Amino acid sequence: MTRYLLTRLWQSAITLILASLVVFIGVRQLPGDPALAMAGEEASPERLAEIRTQLGLDESIVTQYFSFIGNMLRGDLGESTRTGTAVTDLIASTLPVTLWLSAYALIVAIVVGVLLGVIAERFRGKWPEWIANAFALIGLSVPNFWLGILAILYLAVGLGWFPASGYVPIEENPIAGIHSLTLPAFILGTGLAAVIMRQTRASMIETMKMDYVRTARAKGLGRGTVLFRYGLRNSLIVVVTIVGLQLGGLISGAVVTERIFALPGFGKLTLDSVFTRDYPVIQAVVLIITVGYILINLAVDILYSVINPKIRVGGSN
Amino acid sequence: MTTIETPPVDSSAASLGSARGRLWNSLRHNPLGLTGGIMLLVVVLTGLLAPVIAPYGPSEVHFDGTFQAPGTVGYILGTDDLGRDIFSRMVYGIQVSLQVGVLSVLLAVVVGTPLGLLAGYWRWLDGIISRLTDVTLAFPFLIIAVALAAISGPSLSNAAIALGVAQIPTMIRVVRGETLRIKETDFVMSATTMNASGLRIIFRHVLPNCMSAIIVQATVIMPVAVIGEALLSFLGLGIQPPASSLGIMLSDAQQYVTRSPTAAIFPGIAIAVICLGFHLFGDALRDALDPTNTTRK
């Protein structure tokens, strides 16, 4: 176990370093001279040189990389070239919205996905399985931002059950906050729920074929009891794997969901920074998502090994 | 080891041939798979014949006929806020979806297959390639698209690159897994004892036997890429207006959705049909080609 954790930590550290290199090199590929952008078009060569020194642009590329990493570690992400606000402040105000949205969507996806997976296995060959399967196929095929537009049209504007857009901070008003995030979270969670449902069903079908399940049934345990005690426990591993694999999709989905429902989140910050070519913000956003993604995957893997002690690093898959 | 005389390529050629037969058999007995196949046929023909099928150009405006209802003479699915024919825009949008889908699948296959083969065949390369895969996985496709758009501006090719790059890791994993399996088979062992070089074994014996897994994976990537393209152009990170794309149509339609809901509904149905087609057909293909479903070793 310790050996596994150490190997996994080591791998994540290498991935983090490589990813930071990619971001660092990527930012230097961006068009435009940052010094020129700061000083303005009419700046004298002396002024430009001064700004270059100030920004550390005249240092060697290796020194620049280490000061880049140093600044990141100290939490200094620079300032937005568009508004002059510290990038850390922008992130502090937008990230919570996205985290609440993603967490809510994740809960929705897991509950709906596992439930439908169990139903599909419990009623194999009967109509509830067909409905569950149809839901999964539609969830995989229909783009969630389209569902979002339809949901706004019919559930928010038409029936008035939910606000069509806007966000109430959950920290200030939990009930209104959760209400304002319900529609976006369900929309964001649909695709993930479909994937989880399919995998839960597949893993349950496998589990129910096992000898120990037959033994338990032979001992007189009810089908439902066996399903929940053995089938569900095994499908937990699947759910954790899927969530780890689908996180990238969840992040991308959050960006578009925020756009549809006009939520002031991290996704909006990302898109705004791209369209206004706000490079310090772009750099910070890419770095944070990447680092967050690597760390969450590490956490998922650790969780994975806790749930299933059979899993050790170095296995072929 | 008397099987040495049997040319291994024959066995793979035979398995591909019978795979085709199995696919047809499986489709005949699988109405869902057949439906998917027909949906794909219609979609692909629509994309290929777009200029013939579409009555108008994708960005041809008719200011005297804005917000026409579906069924209006001349405009089967109605018109949008600029009087552009929704049906024509959809047909060209499907073309764009397929273009981006095919480009990104090609990218994933062309880059992912050799890396997967190398990682599976030579264990010492596995570690390096796995780290590279992890790094790529750390960048969700939207972030790659954001970065590419920041560097060289949003475009169709940047969207395709972002979607393709994001799919390379899964392609590597699939091919690597297949390679690990095929490496242990008797015909590869016999080729090894006959002193065949590693590269020769990879290209003559391993690659042909990976093909079915690669094809199945391609049908899995396609719908992801189609939805991804729509998402990127919806956000303004894909192909740029006035060109048509299903994502741009949805993004436009969202502005006036309460006035003309159908303008938002039709492009979404088109995306769903494309993806459903690939999912249904891909499932049938997997059933037909999956080695665990057959007696092939």
For B263, the token pair is 């303008």
Q: Where are the alpha helices (DSSP H) in chain B?
A: 8-28, 31-48, 50-53, 86-121, 123-137, 141-152, 156-183, 186-193, 198-201, 207-235, 246-255, 261-289
Q: Looking at beta carbons, which residues of chain B come within 8 Å of A165?
A: none
Mean pLDDT by runs of 10 across the 297 residues of chain B is 40 52 73 88 90 83 79 78 85 92 95 92 86 81 82 87 90 89 84 82 86 88 90 88 87 84 89 91 80 44
Nearest CA distance, B153 vs chain A (angstrom): 9
- Digit-coded pLDDT (tens) for A3-41: 778 888 888 888 888 888 888 888 777 766 666 766 666
What pLDDT, on a 0 to 100 scale, did the predictor assign at position A316? 38
Yes or no: domain A94-275 corresponds to CATH 1.10.3720.10: yes
- The answer to whether the CB of B251 falls within 8 A of the CB of B13 is no
Residue with tokens 């591993």: A237
Nearest CA distance, B7 vs chain A (angstrom): 29
What pLDDT, on a 0 to 100 scale, did the predictor assign at position B6? 39
Mean pLDDT score, A128-137:
86
- Digit-coded pLDDT (tens) for A222-278: 877 887 777 777 777 778 777 877 777 788 788 889 988 888 888 889 888 888 877
What pLDDT, on a 0 to 100 scale, did the predictor assign at position B18? 63
Q: What residues have CB less than 8 Å from B74, skipping those under 6 apart? A: B55, B85
pLDDT surpasses 70 at A64: yes
Q: Looking at beta carbons, which residues of chain B come within 8 Å of A31?
A: 151-152
Of A170-179, A184-193, B220-229, least confident by mean pLDDT is A170-179
ipTM surpasses 0.85:
no
Q: Looking at beta carbons, which residues of chain A come within 8 Å of B40?
A: none
- The answer to whether the CB of A90 falls within 8 A of the CB of A269 is yes
Yes or no: domain B89-289 corresponds to CATH 1.10.3720.10: yes
What pLDDT, on a 0 to 100 scale, did the predictor assign at position B17? 56
Percentage of chain A beyond pLDDT 70 is 92
Residue with tokens 């080609």: B289
d(CA B99, CA B238): 12
- Digit-coded pLDDT (tens) for A83-111: 888 888 888 888 889 889 999 999 999 99
d(CA B231, CA B228): 5
Q: Which of B146, B258, B272 sits opposite A157 (nearest CB)?
A: B258
